[in-house]
Amino acid sequence: SGTEGDNIAVRGVVKAYKNRGNHIITSAIEHPAIRNTYKDLALDGMEVTFIPVDKNGIVDVEQLKAAIRPETILISVMHANNEVGSIEPIKEIGEIAKKNRILLHVDAVQTVGKIPVYPKELGADLLTFSGHKFHGPKGIGGLYIRQGVRVARTVTGGGQEKKLRPGTTNTPAVVGMAKALEMACESMEVEMIRESQLRDYFESEILKRIPEIVINAKNVERLPGTSSITFKYLEGESILLSLSYLGIAVSSGSACSSDELQASHVLLAMGIEPEFAHGTIRFSLGKYNTKEEIDYTIEQVVKVVEKLRILSPLWNEYTK
């Protein structure tokens, strides 16, 4: 999976290059697969720096530069954020990493199969992706490793998969992922435009019809099918459950951590107030979504928000 790929990359580099240094850098908005791996490594004695982001979820490159030390061995920054969709300046970060002889790992789970991704152009030494993000099988991922980069094994066993991931290879899933990626790339250019247009239409209609909402990361380059909307003075969980009852699948914050009660670390890092972060919903569009489904979703979101706000003490206090 993408999580396993992230772990092999980060832990493998840390182990392989431990004689060169003990400092690693990442962003404040990483997926838990990276965020929690870095936290775990900090408990094992690694020095970890989390770089802040701006209000659109873009990594502060100047602070990243300032954080580099002689003992820095790895930078890990996601290609696009899984909650708000903002695309990070990976190419610029890659140039910084190369200039300072630091390895760069990119979590590209959100982008491979959705937008063009070329590891060499990005300056990525390691890059992770996951099959289910482009309609491949679940539970299968991939890790690109640039030739010449050393990655120590983190799991012991046989010699499968270049000794980095011992155990019987799930060949059907590997083949399925490869075919799904091939199909995604064939239609990518057209699909990017289609999804972007659907997303923009969805957001414009919601903005017209519902007051006191914010489209997160709207002013920067985003993934074509990701829309993160903050509905002020409401709880995201109530919106999620109401829409689920109507056959609309959304997530509050990240789908990978939607069972948590804490406000999203991504939204908080972007400077969104905790009470508003709790009212944020992520809508994800894909190649099988239609204009009719978007129209249905718009109508139901408007009705749900209106109904819930009538019952909301926060909204009633605000509109006094």
Domain ranges of the chain: 2-184, 188-318
Which pLDDT score, from 0 to 100, does residue 55 have? 95
- pLDDT at residue 68 above 70? yes
Residues 140-168 have a mean pLDDT of 91
CA distance 225 to 192: 8
Residue matched to tokens 């909301």: 312
Residue 68: CB partners within 8 Å, gap ≥ 6? 25, 96, 100, 102
Which pLDDT score, from 0 to 100, does residue 312 have? 84
Per-residue tokens: 112: 């491979």
Query: Is domain 188-318 annotated with CATH 3.90.1150.10?
Result: yes
CA distance 41 to 11: 8
**Residue tagged active-site, from 192, 256, 268, 294:** 256
* Residue 256 designated active-site: yes
The sign of the CA dihedral 272, 275, 281, 282 is positive
pLDDT in tens, 286-296: 999 999 999 99
In CATH, the architecture of 2-184 is: 3-Layer(aba) Sandwich (3.40)
Identify whether the C-beta of residue 87 lies closer than 8 Å to the C-beta of residue 222.
yes
Phi, psi (5° rounding) for residue 130?
-140, 135
Burial zone of 190 (CB within 10 Å; 0-12 exposed, 13-18 middle, 19+ buried): exposed
DSSP for 96-162, please give it: HHHHTT-EEEEE-TTTBTTB---HHHHT-SEEEEEGGGGT--TT-EEEEE-TT-----SS-SSSTGG
Residues 78-84 have a mean pLDDT of 95
Residues 224-232 have a mean pLDDT of 95
Confidence of residue 255 (pLDDT cuts 50, 70, 90): very low
Which pLDDT score, from 0 to 100, does residue 261 have? 63
- Alpha carbon of 23 to those of 46, 98, 150, 283, 297: distances in Å? 6, 16, 17, 36, 46
Residue 132: CB partners within 8 Å, gap ≥ 6? 138, 139, 140
Q: pTM of this prediction?
A: 0.92
**Range with the poorest average pLDDT among 47-61, 128-142, 259-273, 300-314:** 259-273
More confidently predicted of 258 and 96: 96
CA distance 273 to 279: 10
Per-residue tokens: 282: 């992520």
Identify whether the C-beta of residue 69 lies closer than 8 Å to the C-beta of residue 18.
no
- pLDDT at residue 301 above 90? yes
